[in-house]
Amino acid sequence: MSAVRAQVDVAVHPRGTSSKVLSQTAQRVVFDSSAFHRSSMPTPYSDKGYLITHIVESFVAGTSNVVLYDKSGRKAREAAIWFPQSIRVVITSAAVTSDGRIVASGEADKEDGTRAPFIALTDLSGKVKETVQTKDFSPRNVCVAPDNTVWSFGGTWWDEVNDRPLSGDILRHFDFQKGQLAAYIPRSTFPDHSSYDSLSEMRCSANEVAIYSRSVNTYIVMPYESKISRLYEAPPPPGLTLTGFATFGPNKAYGVLINPQRSDDQMQGLYFLKLDDTTRTVHWVAVEGAAGPRTDVGTVIRLWGADGEFLVLGRAQDPSGVSALHWAAVSEK
């Protein structure tokens, strides 16, 4: 990443030395297993009281490709995102508005090879009512701001002749009535062949957009008010991989770091992202009561998102496995 040159200083704190502590589970709900066990479905995430799931590829009209589950763990709403003359629809990301409507981003392909990237909005019955065609921008990730405008983190089209991405901005702001409102962060910020947008987590909180890109280890913050982006170098500690992300707003971001090779790694679990604005780096700070081996009961091994004052978590050794979601709060120690 060319925009940030600070040396990374990752602060890792084992269990018992953190300045933040995770509460006991305030609520535990076992969800319908269909939310988790479909091979064509990316990892779900929690937003505005719903667990959001989607299927990447659809080839037939009427195929349900975005589903919302409510806090009872049951299916609450679904949508079949499709457009006339399409032969394939790809859903890259999905989100939900404050009143429960579905927003989905992706691409619709026609038989003649035409590709149309889009962001779509449904009504409460799941029918597509509004669509923004994003033209030369691929909206890989979307989230919905409190004013129901949509932010998207994605990529520009590829220049096949010169084997490089076309110039343009990769964070964009949309309105379903007005189209694109603004664009930020030049594509040249990241290396030409990096997949910075495909392995990323994007959330809209009450105050800002927050993005974590796993492929380039970068954390991005865009406050709604100032509209000046801040980029931080954020490689996780050695051996750990970010598998979940949530934010409540400024300086309140959390991630789950897992060692996929070692279940006994005591450093894996829930972390707080402490931002250093001087060096533009992220310090990973383990949350007390939430880090440790995956064989320990209670270690946080999944982070689905945020809901009000609570993080929505998955805990190790829960008898219901991945289907059990826990609501727990983080506080200062």
User: 245: which 2 tokens?
Assistant: 């992300």
What are the beta bridge partners of residue 284? Answer: 273
Residue 206 CA from chain centroid, whole number: 16
122 pLDDT band, cuts 50/70/90, is very high
Dump strand ranges (E) for 20-74.
20-22, 27-30, 45-47, 50-54, 57-58, 66-69
The 3-state DSSP class for residue 187 equals helix
299 pLDDT band, cuts 50/70/90, is very high
**In angstroms, what CA-CA distances link 88 with 126, 155, 218, 311?**
19, 20, 32, 35
Indicate whether 42 pLDDT > 80: no
| Tens digit of each residue's pLDDT (9 = 90 or more) over 126-157 | 999 999 999 999 999 999 999 999 999 999 98
pLDDT reported for residue 102: 97
pLDDT reported for residue 41: 65
CB 174 within 8 A of CB 150: yes
- Give the Cβ contact number of residue 234 at 10 Å: 26
157, amino acid identity: W
Q: What is the DSSP string of 217-275?
A: TEEEEEETTT---EEEE-PPSTT-EEEEEEE-STT-EEEEEE-TT-TT-TT-EEEEEEE
User: 52: which 2 tokens?
Assistant: 């959001």
Residue 154 CA from chain centroid, whole number: 12
Indicate whether 90 pLDDT > 80: yes
Task: Calculate the CA dihedral of residues 284, 290, 292, 297 and round it to 10 degrees.
Answer: -160
pLDDT reported for residue 5: 32
pLDDT reported for residue 288: 93
Q: What are the chain's domains?
A: 20-332 (2.120.10.30)
What are the beta bridge partners of residue 108? Answer: 89, 116
Read off the DSSP letter of residue 113. Answer: S
Q: Which of 67, 109, 111, 64 is nearest to 89 (CA)?
A: 109
| Tens digit of each residue's pLDDT (9 = 90 or more) over 3-32 | 433 333 344 444 444 589 999 999 999 999
Q: What are phi and psi of 250, to 5 degrees?
A: -50, 125
Mean pLDDT, the chain, integer: 90
pLDDT reported for residue 99: 93
Question: What b/e readout covers 28-37, taking b as 16+ CB neighbours within 10 angstroms?
Answer: ebebeeebbe
